[in-house]
Structure formats: structure tokens, C-alpha cells
Amino acid sequence: MSDEVLVEESDGVAVITINRPKARNAINGAVARGVAEVLDALDARPEISVYVLTGAGGTFSAGMDLKGFLTGDLPVVKGRGFGGLTEAPPKKPVVAAVEGYALAGGFELALACDLIVASAESKFGLPEPKRGLVAGAGGIMRLPRRIPYHVAMELALTGDHYPASRLYELGLVNRITEPGAALEGALELARKVAQNAPLALAATKKVIIESQDWSLDEMFAKQSEIINPVFGSKDAMEGAAAFAEKRAPQWKGE
């Protein structure tokens, strides 16, 4: 693991921190590879159910490291995309904890997450056109699926910064916290999610994401392919037993 990406684990939650505060957590090749390596390692561990992605030093991420871009240091990992995340998000739920700025690729990383908790002072934006670039790490594809079309167009075409409060009104941000408390808020939400069965969480996420492209004729058949193994799992039996015995379930991810 590189110094650019830090990991802490507690109560089934892994906090992944982009650790380049002096560069406003701009994403370079080392960060992208570090995030990909962390996800590869944690995805295989059933005791970790949820991830929280955040940035060190009061900023989520200012996006791609443009100085690195000029020297050919591309922040892309084959098979996972920008930042080691945007093209192939993990199977497990991811909560973004946003302080300061989530701009350009930083915003695209947040959009690749499943939940967003943001500080009241944080700002989001896709300023790539101001630099002669395009938000090609999923931003201009994911954004109009999350907020109204014309608002997405305005945000993407102007490249301006938008406050977290506006994106909360639009339903893109799940929770707003006091300044400096985004990570605490994200952990609270992540721990609530992590109380649930890992296999059920992964299957639920998969259905929600993939079903957007399913037709009415095929949707239940496709859902069954994903969820039927969950109903036959040891965790499903444990959940039923724990309910009957009035105790907390002990999930195994099996």
C-alpha cells in the first residue's frame, strides 16, 4: 500500500483516505493504483461490508493531477478506470465523505459512490471544459441519471462550482453535516448499513444499478439470478434464526 492511500477498519467499515493534502488530494497514478489495490484486497474479505471514501486535510479531491497529466502520469488503472474506481466500482456499498472541494475527477469519484455525505461548506463541480478537457470518468454519464437533465447540463457546461446544499435539494447528496463533520456523518451512515448482511447488501446494490437497463419482460428473471443465491445462504438462515431468537445476527458473508 502506498502513502498516498490510507486505510482504517472498524465495525465492518473500511475508511479509504486519499492522502495528498498538499495537492488538494489531486489524483495521480499512485493514488489510482493504491485505491485499486485496496479495493482488490478488501473485496475478498467478508468481514468488511462497507467502504467510506474521503480525502485528507479538509478536501475530498480537486480531481486529476494536471501536473502529472502533463508528464504522462495518468491516474487510470486498467479495468477500474480513473482513480482506480470510476469504471468498476466495488460490489460492496461505498459512502463518499466530502469536505472542501469535490471537483472534476473528484466529483466523478463521488458519483461512483453509492451514498454521499457532505459538509455544508463543500462544493462540487465539473470544471473540465474550463481546461479544455471533458469529464470522461463517468461524470457526464452518471450526473444526468442522478439529477434533472437541464440542471446536469448547466453544471457540466458551465464548469461552475455548486454548493452541497443545492445538490442535497436535488437528491444527489444524502446528508449534510456541519463543517468538518462529513467523515463522522459518513461513518454513522456506513455503520448503519454494515449492520446488515454482506451478501444481501452486495446483491441489493447490484440489482439497483443493473436494473436501470432491464425491460419489464426480463427484470424479475434477471433479479432472480442475482438474489436467489442470497436466499440460500448461511446468512439468510442466520437472519431468520436471529429474528426468532430475538438476538443480533452474526453475519459470515456466506
Q: Which residues are catalytic?
A: 108, 128
In the beta sheet, which residues pair with residue 15? Answer: 8, 52
d(CA 155, CA 144): 10
Give residues with Cβ within 8 angstroms of 10, minimum separation 6: none
- Burial (CB count <10 Å: 0-12, 13-18, 19+), residue 152: buried
* DSSP tag of 96: E
Helix, strand counts (H, E) of the chain: 10, 11
The C-alpha cell that represents 204 in the structure block: 441489493
Gap between the Cα atoms of 76 and 189, Å rounded:
29
- Whole-number Cα distances in Å, 252 to 39, 42, 94, 199, 233: 19, 15, 20, 9, 10
What are residue 115's DSSP bridge partners? 95
Q: Which residue has the cell 462550482?
A: 161
Are 94 and 53 within 8 A, CB to CB? yes
Axis-axis angle for helices 139-146, 149-158 (nearest 10): 150
